[in-house]
Amino acid sequence: MNSKSPGIYALVILTVMLLLSQGCGVQRFVPEGELLYGGSDIQLVKNDSIGPTKRVRNELQGLLQPTPNTRILGMKPPLYFHYKAQRERPGFLYKWLGKKFGEEPVYFSDVNTTRMEDLIRNRLDNKGFFYSTVQHKIDSSKNNATVVYLATVKKPYVLRTYQVDTDSSTVYQTITETLNKTPIKKGDRFDLSLLKIERERIDNRLKQKGYYNFNPDFLIFEADTNRYNTKGFDLLLRLKKEVPPKAKHPYSINKITVYPDYRVTNDTTKQKHVTYKGINFVQDDDFFKPKRLFPYILMEEGALYNAETSKLTSNRLSAIGSYKYANIQWKEVDTVFRKDSTGLLNVDIFLSPLTRRSLRAELQAITKSNGFTGPGIALTYSNRNLFHGGETLNITGSFSYESQLTGNNNNGLNSITGGIQSELILPRLVPFSPSRFRYSVPKTKIALGADFLNRSQLYTLTSVNTSFGYTWNANKYVYHELNPFSINYTNLANTTDAFDEILNQNPFLRTGFEQQFISGLNYSFTYNELVDADKKRPFFFSTNFEIAGNVLNALSGDNTEIFGLEYAQYARLDADFRYFWKWGREHTLVSRLYGGWGIPFGNSNTLPFVKQFFSGGPYSVRAFQIRSLGPGSFQSTGENSSAFFDQSGNLRLEANLEYRFPIWSYLKGAFFADAGNVWLTYDIELPLEEPEESRLFNEEFVAEGTFGSDWASQLGIGVGMGLRVDIQNFVIRLDVASPWRVPYLPKNERGRVPFFGGGNDNLVWNFAIGYPF
């Protein structure tokens, strides 16, 4: 969708600037006798022997209170909106702005400098800078006051020795054994927060050694400075005197009972009790076969209590796909403790199942990366425990009508699609042993499906696909997917004269459609720190590799066909790197680098069409229409339908930068910049009998689309802004972008002024579901 007039954006920008400028006029609202608080700062006065203190200063900065009113470009619009909303007759606009964006004033009279000095001194003591002094000075003007806290920092106390109290009890011996992993080292400055970390570390280790009743609060550190004339100290770790006896003894597992079909209404005394390899299973009618459930349970009778093993067992059971939750409860068995004796624990594992069978119907509004949009319907049947071993069967039938809304000519770009897909997910590694996987057991996935696509006035495409592979989480962040067996057969039929003409013109495209049989291996690796909401600098990395045709080539004896079908041979690799920088309330700066490269070989001259790369659109360079970039500086001069097929390549490079910020409630905003394109890294020699028109097209296509030393000048670059409705990670997105650099124009005409230059194609609208990356 394009717009010829940028006037509306100029009006919006002007309105925002006028509102912001009002923030300069808040002084007249300040009550007599009050000063606005302008903030505080900390200055450290230290001698050269102290060493670097930047990190300590940053921590002290976090103590400063209160927080001054928000400034935007040196102005205070939220405070201005608040003042205006407090008038007798504020008007609807200022009343709304005051409610949604206003901030109550922060006056200097709200600042307690004495309390802040005490807090800073206390924090310096906790960091080893004992006997430091803190003073403050005030800098005030007619309407504003700021505070500077001057901290005179003494030389810190550093560690000379660290040891555990001597005692013959088992718990002291176990604590001593953990010291080889301590983060506390000789020469470290005294740091109270580090001592707290050490207590948590020791408690975590003891919980893995059977100490079920231990608590980190049972540990106490004693620092002795009497032995040294200089500022050194000895550190002694011991147990508090009031520690209960049972906390000093390890526990082992006495009995394990599993309830695979747990419901509150169950009468467990009447249910069937079956013992399998030392574990008692209580259920009716073998809801879940004990043989299949046993490998997920890492605990065993006689083993010491281990909190980490319990957590991993819970994760594994929850990941089966048949249960809402897994609840593991530990119960102490009455024990009379003697020296070196061990307590006993019974373990009950309650598994609450999901509804076994379900039928789900979905009405869909489909928007695809190739620009096709339209209504659809999908019907899914699921069985979450098919063979009583946690197997999940999903069968989905879908039907949709789609039309490409982008571009000026939609002729021939309407389509009807449909298909049926089935997948069987086995929560185990078939046919291998899962014993090496502690975090989660891999799942075996078998898929089979068929699809059809009827694109009016162009062609009909039917396809059959099947795959066999594995998925597993190595840990919280790492995910793997390996499909050693994957087949895709595509049949192109009912082509029209218009589409035949497109194929005849572009030999790359024709070859891509001719090779209709793809068989190979693919592997995906993902490292995702976004699952940890506490990380302020998470990054995401994903890579996909696939290789096709090698096995078929070996079986066919270098024949180009198998079973009468021409098969494709290629290797394809892509990588996606994203870095997130979070601060404040939902403010995020996201940077992304993407690269993909595919190489045909052996039986293939080009990549199959479905494996080629394209650039442009709502998930790519948003200042350009779907598939409108590349390859290189090439631009198709045919009708829209032809351009859609022509502009692809086997190499894609892309970079994105996006600033995301909250606006109000579920409404978010963004400013972004995108750059990218696709290129060719190979060409094919056409036979002499090829039509002249085809040969001329090929020469232009290769000349302008080949990757070379001037690739940077062929990047499509654009900037834009967007609005997003984000409701619990379901995102509806509307972006508007404008080109900054257009690679298919003559070299001296590629640059333009975004939003205000470029004629009819200076604005590109993108409506999509989900974030672009």
Q: List the domain boundaries for the chain.
A: 7-152, 158-248, 251-353, 496-769
- pLDDT bin (cut points 50, 70, 90) of residue 114 is very high
Q: Looking at the predicted structure, is the pLDDT value of residue 126 above 50?
A: yes
In 3D, which of 61, 63, 66 has the Cα closest to residue 107? 66
Neighbours of 446 (CB within 10 A): 16
| Residue 54 identity | K
pLDDT attached to residue 53? 73
The encoded tokens of residue 376 equal 């659809």
Q: Reduce the DSSP state of residue 770 to 3 states and report it.
A: coil
pLDDT over 90 (residue 48): no
Residue 28 confidence (pLDDT): 82
Q: If DSSP codes are grouped into helix, strand and coil, which group holds residue 593?
A: strand
Q: How sure is the predictor about 427, in pLDDT bands with cuts at 50, 70 and 90?
A: very high
Q: Please, which residues bridge with residue 149 across strands?
A: 42, 136
The matching CATH number, chosen from 3.40.50.880, 3.40.250.10, 3.10.20.310, 3.30.2000.20, for 251-353 is 3.10.20.310
Q: Could you tell me which CATH class the domain 158-248 is placed in?
A: alpha beta
**High-pLDDT (> 90) share of the chain, %:** 54
Q: How many helices (H) and strands (E) does the chain have?
A: 14, 29
Pairing of the two strands 372-383 and 392-404: antiparallel
CA dihedral 423, 427, 430, 433 (to 10 degrees): 170
User: Strands 158-164 and 232-239, how do they pair?
Assistant: parallel
| Token reading at 708 | 């070379």
The yes/no answer on whether domain 496-769 falls in CATH 2.40.160.50 is yes
Number of Cβ atoms within 10 Å of the Cβ of 596:
21
Angstrom distances, CA of residue 405 to CA of 4, 84, 291, 699 = 18, 45, 54, 31
Q: Which residue has the tokens 């006689």?
A: 302
pLDDT at 138 over 80: yes
Reported as a single tens digit per residue, the pLDDT across 435-492 is 667 888 899 999 999 999 888 778 888 999 999 999 999 999 999 999 999 999 988 8
Place of tokens 């834009």: 720
**Cβ-based neighbours of 690, under 8 Å, separated by 6 or more:** 507, 698
What's the rounded Cα separation, in Å, for the pair 601 and 494? 29
Q: Is residue 742 very low, low, confident or very high in pLDDT (cuts 50, 70, 90)?
A: very high
pLDDT bin (cut points 50, 70, 90) of residue 537 is very high
For tokens 């604590």, name the residue. Answer: 175
Residue ranges of alpha helices (H) inside 155-252 are: 170-177, 192-207
For residue 412, name the pLDDT band (cuts at 50, 70, 90): very low
Task: Say which range, 247-256, 345-354, 421-430, 627-636, has the weakest mean pLDDT.
Answer: 627-636
Question: How much is the pTM?
Answer: 0.78
Alpha-carbon gap, residue 512 to 94, rounded angstroms: 61
- Of the pLDDT bands very low, low, confident and very high (cuts 50, 70, 90), residue 365 is low
Query: What is the spatial distance between Cα 137 and Cα 600, in angstroms, rounded to a whole number?
Result: 72
How many residues would you count in the chain?
773
Distance (Å, rounded) from C-alpha 527 to C-alpha 495? Answer: 43
7-152 and 158-248 agree in CATH topology: yes
| Average pLDDT of span 594-600 | 96
Residues 6+ apart with CB under 8 A from 138: 108, 113, 145, 146, 147
Q: What 3-state class would DSSP assign to 95?
A: helix
Q: What architecture is domain 7-152?
A: Roll (3.10)
Under DSSP, the state recorded for 649 is: B
Q: Are 246 and 213 in contact (CB under 8 A)?
A: yes
- How far apart (Å, rounded) are the C-alpha atoms in residues 428 and 349? 20
As a whole number, mean pLDDT of residues 242-247 equals: 90
| Coil vs helix vs strand at 54 | helix
Question: Average pLDDT, whole number, for the chain?
Answer: 86
In the structure, what pLDDT confidence band is assigned to residue 334 with cuts at 50, 70 and 90?
confident
Q: What are phi and psi of 27, to 5 degrees?
A: -60, -35
Structure tokens at 704: 């302008």
Q: What residue has token string 């699921």? A: 382
CB atoms within 10 A of CB 68: 21
